[in-house]
Chain A
Amino acid sequence: MPLYVERKPESLITEEGIRTDGRLPHEMRPIKMMVGVLEKADGSAFVEWGGNRILAAVFGPREVHPKHMVLPDRALVRARYNMAPFSTPERRRPGPDRRSIELSKVIREALKPAIFTENYPGSVIDIFVEVLRSDAGTRVAGINAASLALASAGVAMRGLVSACSVGRVGNFIVVDPNHDEDMWGDSDMPLAMMMESEEITLLQADGTLSEEEFKEALDLGRKAIRFVYEVQKEALKRPYYLVERRVV
Chain B
Amino acid sequence: MMFDQEILTHNLMKDYIRELAENGQRVDGRGFHEYRPIEVLNGTFTKAEGEAWLKLGETQVLVGVKADLGEPFPDTPDKGVFVSNAELLPVASPTFEPGPPDEGAIELARVVDRAIRSVDAIDLGSLVILPGKLVYMIFLDMYVLDYDGNLEDSLTLASLIALGRSEIPEVELKNGEIEVKESKRKLELKDIPINFSFVKIGSKILLDPTIEEESVSDASITVAINKDGKVCSVQKRHGTFSVDEILNIVSVAKSKWPELASIVREAI
A and B touch in the complex (CB under 8 A): yes
Total inter-chain residue pairs, C-beta < 8 Å: 98
Check A1 against B70 for contact (C-beta < 8 Å): yes
B82 at the interface (CB under 8 A from A): no
Check B47 against A80 for contact (C-beta < 8 Å): no
Bound-state Cα–Cα, A132 to B168, Å: 19
Bound-state Cα–Cα, A71 to B148, Å: 32
Check A94 against B87 for contact (C-beta < 8 Å): yes
B100 at the interface (CB under 8 A from A): yes
Q: Which of A40, A62, A82, A87 contacts B146 (CB 8 A)?
A: A40
Interface residue ranges, A against B (CB under 8 Å) = 1-5, 38-41, 44, 53, 55, 57, 59, 62, 80, 82, 84-91, 94-95, 126, 128, 130, 132-134
Contacting residues, chain B, for A59 (C-beta < 8 A): 90, 94
Q: How far is the CB of B18 from chain A (nearest CB, A)?
A: 24
Nearest chain A residue, comparing its CB with the CB of B59: A39
Query: A38-B60, A86-B46, A86-B51 are known contacts. Are A2 and B68 too (CB-CB below 8 A)?
Result: yes
B257 at the interface (CB under 8 A from A): no
Most buried by B among A4, A5, A86: A86
Check A3 against B51 for contact (C-beta < 8 Å): no
Question: What's the dominant secondary structure at chain B's contact region?
Answer: strand
| Interface members, chain B 46-71 (any A CB < 8 Å) | 46-48, 51, 58, 60, 62, 64-70
Check A84 against B148 for contact (C-beta < 8 Å): no
Contacting residues, chain B, for A132 (C-beta < 8 A): 45-46, 62, 143
Contacting residues, chain A, for B146 (C-beta < 8 A): 38-41
Binary A-proximity of B82-126 (CB < 8 A = 1, otherwise 0):
000101011111100010100000000000000000000000000
Contacting residues, chain A, for B91 (C-beta < 8 A): 38, 40-41, 44, 55, 57, 128, 130
B252 at the interface (CB under 8 A from A): no
Contacting residues, chain B, for A57 (C-beta < 8 A): 90-91
